Amino acid sequence: MSRPAPEPSPYHHGDLRATLIAATEDLLAERGPDAFSLREVARRAGVSPAAPAHHFGDAAGLLTAVATQGFAELAQALREGVASGGDDALAALRGQGLGYVRFALRRPGRFRLMFREGVLHPDAELHRQADAAFEELAAGVRRAAGVAEVAQMTPAHWNAVITLWSLVHGYAHLAIAGRFEGFAGEHGRAAFVGATLPAVLDATLAGLFPTPAR
């Protein structure tokens, strides 16, 4: 039996903003943004229906806050992936790819939301965090190509960024949609990703960077 939602209470949470974001995350993972409502988030958080609007303005405001936090977490996951590669630029790119997909597996509702059109406000902080995450990917390609500055990147370098982004983004969406379950077997989705994605990334990186990075 499911546990009943707590009785609504206006503002008794120690961190109401975090509570509402967590409730939104759960709702998005279950139903997606098309079935999202402030009233349901309030019910799950155990607060009055007016509480989400008081903090975020409207549904798009709350979703924008969740997506903004998502891009910040994604950028952190990419930085951790770089660190896992040490001084090896290609290993760092592989780590970024793994970090990207593992973030999506950890935050599937948030990940889907971050790239949805029409449900988010055109918010400056949202765009700043999204650009920062993209720059992590671009910086990884620059390291592998031995390029110091963005201005020195050629069309081939940008194509490498788009290729790697498309690869991990598409893989992530397939993974969280359950499309790999038939291959994963009893070991589960996370184990399947860990066993297959590094080889996929290495094959792609070998084609993009056929000679060792200096």
For 172-198, the pLDDT digits (tens) are: 999 999 999 888 888 889 999 999 999
Measured in whole angstroms, how far is the alpha carbon of residue 9 from the centre of its chain?
32
Q: Which DSSP symbol is given to 10?
A: S
pLDDT at 47 > cutoff 60 = yes
pLDDT tens-digit series, residues 26-45: 899 888 888 888 999 999 99
The number of residues in the chain equals: 214
Q: How far is CA 125 from CA 70, 71, 121, 150, 178, in A?
A: 12, 10, 10, 22, 32
User: What element of type H or E holds 123?
Assistant: none
Sign of the torsion formed by the C-alpha atoms of 101, 107, 109 and 110: negative
Average pLDDT, whole number, for the chain?
90
pLDDT tens-digit series, residues 129-164: 999 999 999 999 999 999 999 999 999 999 999 999
Q: Which of 7-16, 67-76, 148-157, 197-206 has the lowest mean pLDDT?
A: 7-16
The tokens describing 82, both together, are 């770089």
Contact 102, 168 (CB under 8 A): no
Amino acid identity of 130? A
Domains of the chain are: 1-57 (1.10.10.60), 70-208 (1.10.357.10)
